[in-house]
Structure 1
Amino acid sequence: MSNFLQPKDILVTELFPGTPSGVRPQRRAPFALISLVAIATILLAFFFAAGRAEAAPSLRKAIWGPATPQAFNRYSQLGVGIYQMSISWASVAATKPAQPRNPKDPAYAWLDELDTAIKLAKPRGIRVAVNITFSPRWANGNRQRRWAPKRPADFANFVAATVKRYPYVRYWMIWSEPSRRANFLPLARVTGKRQLSRKEQVGPRTYARILDSGYKAVKSVNPNDFVIGGNTIPGGSIRPLRFIQAMRLPNGRPPRMDLYGHNAYSPRFPKLSRRPAAFGTADLSDFDTLARWLDRYLGRAGRNHRLKIFVSEYSLPTSRNAVIPFWGNRRDQARYAAGALRLTRNFERSYSLGWFQLMDQPPQRDNLEADWGLLTWRGQIKPAFWAFKRG
């Protein structure tokens, strides 16, 4: 749940250039790149019994969803090993702290929901992953929150305070989908196969500095935690290949990370033998290609060696909606869930597959709610729930 994104600004061309918009694909379909805040209506409607026959938690399975006892019972039933949440730096530190590395500084307004999630996850053996994203105005020159901070050190200080505040969290994602202008600036919009100009490289290079500073901050508090960098999408304002190539520090080296994050939504059924949909793009079916890019452009002596891929978000809505221009029926969703888990389990460079989300979005006035969940908004089990449990 990169739950601070703006779902309706997502363009199909950002994900897979040339793919027709608003049409259900010929053979099934998921697609998008979204993130939505957990809505109070969902929580009020979330009345369902705890599932029988819990599965052992597996780090191969991650999920976004509510932080309630009922939801965590479902996560245990599914065998989920990683629960995901987002923290907005802009929200937690709206005013500049006097002691930025001290989580007890009064300027910080920490999330009660994350405390609840940790309390529920720990006895169930479920690890927690947190996405740290968006900057406050005092750090970015009084701009919108998607703008990068002027000083990576300010971001690093917040990361260090966050890691201290939540010692149970094991995984730290650095910024959400920075290859999209909707989420990260400064970032150019680049199309076609050409190399990035020096000006167009500013965005990825800025992100590289933020990532590396975040990595250093995490390791200074807990060296055993995992830092997830990249966090790209199949297409984007800058496609994955060009973004990865341009992720460079001022000294010319790539930034440090433990895992490479990639939100792998796609209209294509997951199958490694497929060719990339377009130059420089990468969905779940292109993970072998993506792994080669990581080795070639991000590998560095002693670090970033054969990075594994962490899929934070993957899903297929089961009806037409205002967020994702591709969808299938419930049987399609189950088939895609099974196929995605099969691919990631069998591909040695895959670390985990995250499903977005546990529950469908509640009814909207335009009747275009996103039915992306493994459960309906009322808690009814969909076929994909069992596919995800078995996977």
Structure 2
Amino acid sequence: MTPSMSDNSPKESRTHIGRIASLTLLGVLIVSAVIFFRYGATETYDFSYTDKASFTHGPRVEENTGEESLLASAQRAWKKIVRKSKRSSVREKTLTSNTPETTSETPSEAPTAKPTNTSTQETPSPTSDTSTTASTSSGNTTTTGTGGTVASSPTPTAPVAPVVTRSSVPLNALGIAAGSGLTAMTQSELNTYFQGLKDAGVTWVRWDINWGAVQEAGPNVYYWEDPDRVANTAKKYGINSLGIITYAPVWAQNSTCIKQNTCAPVDADAFATFASLVATRYKGTVSHWEIWNEQNTPQDGYATPNVARYAELLKVTYTAIKRANPDAFVITGGVAPAGDEDGNISPITFVKGLYTYGAKDSFDAIALHPYTYPLSPTRDVEWNNWEQIADIRDIMVANGDSAKRIWLTEYGAPTGGPGKARTINPSTFVYGADYVTEAAQDQMAQETVALYTDHTSYLGPFFWYSFRDLGTAKTSPENFFGILRHDLTQKPAYVTLKEFAAHFNTE
């Protein structure tokens, strides 16, 4: 007969209990040791400069201020990104040795001359035919090709009901703002460029479809070869396109416009007609469209920025694009950092104006350009658009647009130029600085993507301007916005942004 528990002697019971306690204690000690040696003690670091050219990490001494500073919050969030990237083993052990693949032809600075319509280069059309049929904003049906256009009589069309379009592609992701440079590249140069984007983990590219270039020769002549080449190459490499439909040809501008290459159209309906043709031609290749660029400043075509005029342009263009492709996603032109002075309109005033002038149902997202250089994004200054993102979000929510996001379609900082350089130092500000050091650019990238990561619920893709330096001449800071130098070697910010891309690509 097997003895029951009650048959054991008191001594045996105590011995049994002691063994259980010993084994339990041993297990706790083993688990504690594993946790300690796996994760260790967490040490926090601050990003600080020892001089103008060097960037070092040093132990941070926390001040007991009672609340976490914006900079501390950014640093904390950035370290979370790096730790997650390392644990998922997505980041390569040595990123600095991984430069974009090159061919015998490397991207060069944009040529000044554009090929004519008689070019013999064969470029596949985004559609199955070299001609397309589109409904214009006024209801006309237009057949277009590389040689001209034939318009038929107007046909009645029903108005488009306003709906909030949901993007079907990743919204929290890294993009590159390339602007007009891509349409000047050869096919070989584009292959090199897009392979470089893919190597860096970039999933979006923002580029111009310039009405002034497509119809430069007149209202009945179209030159599609350059944008066709870019659209097809982006799709080939699996990179999502955000096409900027912008600027007007000279024949469609106000004759008093000073900066003729970026002037606004006299007739908003004519611009909408072109946008309809674009949306039709690239249906299935490009589905995301940004309408104009930095229209709140005089520099980009609106010689006298006017919210009401832009709202009307946006409304007719949105309707035309949605009629051509109901699944298209349309965002406002990126609003530049500015105050309400010197002919500029601040982002907050501009966004409020869109609702005031009835454009609420004419965009699927709002675009913002939160430039801060030569300051870091954590500095509290009037024109720091990072500080205004929350305010713009509040305006959208107050107007019933909580389902829409804010896309950050340009941000960056140049690392060269003709004037002064500066580092990021919270206690000083060098007025007149034209550019920042490469180390400072990297810190700005780290702080920026950390701030972005804390607000992903209502932010769209983050586009860095730009990918590769345009050249080496120090006559203009515009040559040095890249995270790759002109010789394709990597700046420190390249590594930071690649880690950022890996963080979202593996979620």
- Fold match by TM threshold 0.5: yes
Q: Secondary structure at the match of 2:463?
A: strand
Q: CA deviation at 1:248?
A: 5.2
Q: Secondary structure at the match of 1:247?
A: helix
- Note closer, same or farther for the CA distance 1:342–1:365 as it changes in structure 2 (3 Å cut): closer
**Kept in 2: contact 1:61–1:354 (CA 8 A):** yes
Say yes or no: does 1:80 pair with 2:202: yes
- Note closer, same or farther for the CA distance 1:305–1:217 as it changes in structure 2 (3 Å cut): farther
In structure 2, what is the equivalent of residue 333 of structure 1? 441
- Note closer, same or farther for the CA distance 1:59–1:217 as it changes in structure 2 (3 Å cut): farther
Q: CA deviation at 1:71?
A: 1.4
Query: Partners of 2:269 and 2:469 in 1: how far apart?
Result: 38
In structure 2, what is the equivalent of residue 107 of structure 1? 221
In structure 1, what is the equivalent of residue 452 of structure 2? 344
Give the greater-gyration-radius structure (CA). 2
Q: CA deviation at 1:249?
A: 7.2
Q: CA deviation at 1:59?
A: 5.2
- Note closer, same or farther for the CA distance 1:333–1:210 as it changes in structure 2 (3 Å cut): same
* % identical aligned pairs: 24
Say yes or no: does 1:179 pair with 2:296: yes
Say yes or no: does 1:284 pair with 2:390: no
- Note closer, same or farther for the CA distance 1:336–1:111 as it changes in structure 2 (3 Å cut): farther
Q: CA deviation at 1:370?
A: 3.2
One-letter identity of the residue aligned with 2:349 = R
Q: Deviations over 1:185-214 (max 9, x none)?
A: 3525xxxxxxxxxxxxxx110000111111
In structure 1, what is the equivalent of residue 249 of structure 2? 136
Q: CA deviation at 1:131?
A: 0.8
Instruction: Choose which of 99, 104, 107 in structure 2 pairs with 1:43.
Output: 107
Say yes or no: does 1:311 pair with 2:419: no
Say yes or no: does 1:116 pair with 2:229: yes
Q: CA deviation at 1:327?
A: 2.7
Q: Deviations over 1:268-295 (max 9, x none)?
A: 4234xx65x22xx451243212211333
In structure 2, what is the equivalent of residue 243 of structure 1? 350
Instruction: Choose which of 201, 216, 229 in structure 1 pairs with 2:319.
Output: 216
Say yes or no: does 1:258 pair with 2:355: no
Query: Partners of 1:328 and 1:356 in 2: how far apart?
Result: 14
Query: Partners of 1:109 and 1:155 in 2: how far apart?
Result: 16
Query: Partners of 2:264 and 2:434 in 1: how far apart?
Result: 31
Unaligned runs of 5+ in 1: 1-23, 28-40, 47-56, 98-105, 189-202
Q: Deviations over 1:327-349 (max 9, x none)?
A: 32222212221222222232022
Q: CA deviation at 1:364?
A: 2.3
Q: CA deviation at 1:175?
A: 0.6
One-letter identity of the residue aligned with 2:222 = Y
In structure 2, what is the equivalent of residue 206 of structure 1? 309
Q: Secondary structure at the match of 2:409?
A: strand
Query: Partners of 1:365 and 1:123 in 2: how far apart?
Result: 35
- Note closer, same or farther for the CA distance 1:346–1:368 as it changes in structure 2 (3 Å cut): closer
Q: CA deviation at 1:117?
A: 2.4
Query: Partners of 1:322 and 1:147 in 2: how far apart?
Result: 29
Q: Secondary structure at the match of 1:229?
A: strand
Unaligned runs of 5+ in 2: 1-51, 56-104, 111-169, 421-431, 501-507
Aligned residue pair count: 310
One-letter identity of the residue aligned with 1:108 = Y
- Note closer, same or farther for the CA distance 1:94–1:386 as it changes in structure 2 (3 Å cut): same
One-letter identity of the residue aligned with 2:223 = A
Tell me the C-alpha RMSD between the 2 structures: 3.1
Q: CA deviation at 1:148?
A: 3.2
Query: Partners of 1:164 and 1:316 in 2: how far apart?
Result: 35
Q: Secondary structure at the match of 2:461?
A: strand
In structure 2, what is the equivalent of residue 233 of structure 1? 336
Q: CA deviation at 1:183?
A: 1.4
Instruction: Choose which of 277, 297, 322 in structure 2 pairs with 1:161.
Output: 277
Q: Secondary structure at the match of 1:80?
A: coil
Q: Secondary structure at the match of 2:460?
A: strand
- Note closer, same or farther for the CA distance 1:365–1:186 as it changes in structure 2 (3 Å cut): closer
Q: Deviations over 1:37-57 (max 9, x none)?
A: xxxx972489xxxxxxxxxx8
Higher relative contact order (CA 8 A, sep 6+): 1
Q: CA deviation at 1:311?
A: 1.2
In structure 2, what is the equivalent of residue 8 of structure 1? none
In structure 1, what is the equivalent of residue 491 of structure 2? 382
Query: Partners of 1:121 and 1:177 in 2: how far apart?
Result: 24
**Kept in 2: contact 1:282–1:289 (CA 8 A):** no
Task: Provide TM-score, normalisation by structure 2.
Answer: 0.56
Q: Deviations over 1:121-159 (max 9, x none)?
A: 223321111111112233334343444323321111000
In structure 2, what is the equivalent of residue 362 of structure 1? 471
- Note closer, same or farther for the CA distance 1:325–1:365 as it changes in structure 2 (3 Å cut): closer
Q: CA deviation at 1:390?
A: 0.2
One-letter identity of the residue aligned with 2:452 = T
Query: Partners of 1:255 and 1:96 in 2: how far apart?
Result: 32
Query: Partners of 1:369 and 1:219 in 2: how far apart?
Result: 35
